[in-house]
Amino acid sequence: MPQTLLRAGRRLALLGVLLLAGCATAPPWPDRPASAPSGRVLLDQVPFYPQERYQCGPASLAMMLNSQGLRTDPDRLKALVYLPGRQGSLQVEMVAAARAHDMVVYPLAARFDAILAELDAGHPVLVLQNLMFDWWPQWHFAVVVGYDAAQETVILNTDTREHYAMPYPAFLATWGRAERWAVVVLPPGQLPATARPLDYLRAAHDLESTGHPQAARRAYQGAAERWPERPEPGLALANLAFAQAQWRDAARQLIDLARRFPDYASGWNNLGFTLERLGCRTAASAALACAARLDPERFGSARLEGGSPATPTLPCPTVPACPATSP
Amino acid sequence: MSEIRSYRKPVATIMAMLLAIATLFSATAQAGMVGTAEMLQQQQTELDRQQLLEMLDQQAVQDKLADLGVSQAQVAERIQNLTPQELADFQQQLAEAPAGQDVVGIIVLFLLVFIVTDMLCATDLFSFVHCLR
């Protein structure tokens, strides 16, 4: 118990200092090269739905989904995201509803210039704002559809106003009071401008774990193309094939992964267990042994489960040479 | 209130059983495989740790730590032993800091609160930390 207390005390101390620091004045408009010569960007293909009272959630989500070519409207989305008891929508439900439409929901880094970068790439941004105070919040969803660097305004589709130019300090204050929550909603495989490998893969994996494997696969493939120097998208794709009992497909992808990233121990490990499912015990043992040599601490005790078919159903694939030699 | 308390034990037992069953099933489904979620979590922890260590390389941070009488090597060793949760906490603090704010201050504050206090044995949370006394 005292440990918990101590820990809480530390957090509080940290928070206190940060809150004090938070009273500083608003930072200046980000100094970044303008994408348009005028310094003004407006995504006017984003449709606009004036919201009824308290229904910024369904309206904002409809604008986000329509802008990606999905046919839906606030009335249909209301059933998914509107909570009559709370007179509003929750972030998790907005995210879940977008995923239900097979979309990747990518949370932006909590920086204003991330929003600008996405707008430059033509992606509208869904933001949460707190229009009142920390101690008496009034939450509000809006869609950022543009900005004007010269005027220092953020252009929003919000409540009943289309293309409302909100002064930058006001936007920063209201957005900051909502923990700078901002997401882009894009079809799988179309990557956000500010996408970072692990964060994007996590967003894709959220699709997989909520029962949208096909969409997740397209997202993983997009990540594999964008970051060919990284092994993680390949492992995610192979794991997806494995989860769908497509052992041969998984094995083929993992062998390819082992060729391109011979030092990636997790890939060798998964290759071993996949080959086992194919009944290729010799090759499976060789792959596991390689994982153990590359990372003894983690994979040193990995053993086959013995759950493989007695004889391979098809000719076993050739496993690439292991880069690590026996200890 | 006391009525709720009387339910606590049976509820806890049921939850514990559910958890055990769930763990059992997920274990048999993918025994031995490195799952995508696990892989992402691990990579993230490595990335967070790397970023914190890189920040430690900044001269301003080192100066402040020297003022506090702690060596860079001691802090680096402690960073290696931070849990994923502690590293994630730090990333969160950094992300929530207002833009343009003195980042060195936040780093040093974090190091001070989470690390140096342990070294000075102000707390006794981490048995593996050697006291400076």
Q: Mark whether A95 and A163 lie in a shared domain.
A: yes
Instruction: Please report the pLDDT score of residue B90 as a whole number.
Output: 79
Q: Mark whether A159 and A247 lie in a shared domain.
A: no
Check which CATH number belongs to the domain holding A252 and give it.
1.25.40.10
Q: Mark whether A76 and A146 lie in a shared domain.
A: yes
* B40, B109, B123 member nearest A202 (Cβ): B40
Angle at A118 between CA A207 and CA A212, to 5 degrees: 10
Instruction: Please report the pLDDT score of residue A85 as a whole number.
Output: 76
Distance from CA of B130 to the nearest CA of A (A): 18
Please indicate if any CB of chain A lies within 8 Å of the CB of B122: no
Instruction: Please report the pLDDT score of residue A310 as a whole number.
Output: 62
Angle at A188 between CA A240 and CA B27, to 5 degrees: 25
Report chain A residues whose CB lies below 8 A from the CB of B35: 239
Q: Mark whether A176 and A233 lie in a shared domain.
A: no
Mean pLDDT, range A130-153, rounded to an integer:
92
Q: Mark whether A237 and A181 lie in a shared domain.
A: no
A173: pLDDT strictly greater than 60: yes
- Asked whether residue A151 is domain-assigned, the answer is yes
Q: B26, B30, B33, B115: best mutation site toward chain A, by most A Cβ within 10 Å?
A: B33
Residue scoring higher pLDDT (B79 or A116): A116
Contact of B59 with B66, CB cutoff 8 Å:
no
Angle at A261 between CA A255 and CA A267, to 5 degrees: 55
- Asked whether residue A172 is domain-assigned, the answer is yes
| Measured distance CA(A117)–CA(A136) in Å, rounded | 32
* B30, B34, B95 member nearest A110 (Cβ): B95
Distance from CA of B1 to the nearest CA of A (A): 22
Q: Mark whether A117 and A176 lie in a shared domain.
A: yes
Structure tokens at A110: 């909590």
- Asked whether residue A153 is domain-assigned, the answer is yes
Mean pLDDT, range A73-81, rounded to an integer:
88
Inter-chain residue contact A111 with B99, CB threshold 8 Å: yes
Q: Which residue has the tokens 């990335």?
A: B47
Mean pLDDT, range A141-165, rounded to an integer:
95
- Asked whether residue A119 is domain-assigned, the answer is yes
Q: Mark whether A166 and A245 lie in a shared domain.
A: no
| pLDDT digit string, tens, across residues A200-217 | 999 999 999 999 999 999
pLDDT averaged over every residue in chain B: 70
β-strands A139-148, A40-42: how paired?
Answer: antiparallel
- Asked whether residue A28 is domain-assigned, the answer is no
Q: Which of A42-46, A78-82, B93-97, B127-131 has the lowest mean pLDDT?
A: B127-131
A26: pLDDT strictly greater than 90: no
| Measured distance CA(B108)–CA(B103) in Å, rounded | 9
What is the separation of C-alpha B53 from the centre of its chain, rounded to a whole number of angstroms?
Answer: 14
| pLDDT digit string, tens, across residues B99-114 | 555 667 777 777 766 6
| pLDDT digit string, tens, across residues A84-115 | 777 777 888 899 999 999 999 999 998 899 99
Q: Which of A84, A86, A80 is nearest to A59 (CA)?
A: A80
Instruction: Please report the pLDDT score of residue A264 as a whole number.
Output: 96
Q: Mark whether A97 and A157 lie in a shared domain.
A: yes
* A14, A205, A305 member nearest B113 (Cβ): A14
- Asked whether residue A236 is domain-assigned, the answer is yes
**Residue after which a domain boundary falls, among A128, A163, A186:** A186
Q: Mark whether A57 and A161 lie in a shared domain.
A: yes
Determine the structural domain holding residue A161 and report its residue range. Answer: 40-186
Check which CATH number belongs to the domain holding A161 and give it.
3.90.70.10
Residue scoring higher pLDDT (A277 or A15): A277
Which are the contacts of B85, defined by CB distance < 8 A and separation ≥ 6? Answer: none
Instruction: Please report the pLDDT score of residue B33 as a whole number.
Output: 93
Instruction: Please report the pLDDT score of residue A60 as a whole number.
Output: 94
| Measured distance CA(A47)–CA(B32) in Å, rounded | 48
- Reported as half-sphere exposure (CB side, CA atoms, 13 A), residue A181 has a value of 17
Task: Give the confidence band of A59 by pLDDT, cuts at 50, 70, 90.
Answer: very high
A241: pLDDT strictly greater than 80: yes
Instruction: Please report the pLDDT score of residue A23 as a whole number.
Output: 47
A-B C-beta contacts closer than 8 Å: 82
- Asked whether residue A307 is domain-assigned, the answer is no
Report the chain A residue with the minimal C-alpha distance to residue B99: A27
| pLDDT digit string, tens, across residues A314-325 | 788 888 999 977
Residue scoring higher pLDDT (B11 or B123): B11
Instruction: Please report the pLDDT score of residue A55 as a whole number.
Output: 83
Report chain A residues whose CB lies below 8 A from the CB of B101: 21, 24
Q: How many other C-beta atoms lie within 10 A of the C-beta of residue A248?
A: 14
Contact of A188 with A216, CB cutoff 8 Å:
yes
Cα separations in angstroms, A163 against A7, A114, A155, A174, A217: 46, 20, 5, 17, 35
Instruction: Please report the pLDDT score of residue A137 as a whole number.
Output: 86
Distance from CA of B96 to the nearest CA of A (A): 7
**Residue after which a domain boundary falls, among A131, A154, A186:** A186
pLDDT averaged over every residue in chain A: 88
- Asked whether residue A310 is domain-assigned, the answer is no
Distance from CA of B39 to the nearest CA of A (A): 8
Q: Mark whether A70 and A148 lie in a shared domain.
A: yes
Q: Which of B123, B122, B31, B111 is nearest to B70 (CA)?
A: B111
Please indicate if any CB of chain B lies within 8 Å of the CB of A242: yes
Angle at A61 between CA A56 and CA A64, to 5 degrees: 125
Q: How many domains does chain A have?
A: 2
Residue scoring higher pLDDT (B121 or A73): A73
Instruction: Please report the pLDDT score of residue A13 as a whole number.
Output: 57
Please give the share of chain A, as a percent, with pLDDT higher than 70: 88
B22: pLDDT strictly greater than 90: no
Structure tokens at A6: 């101590």
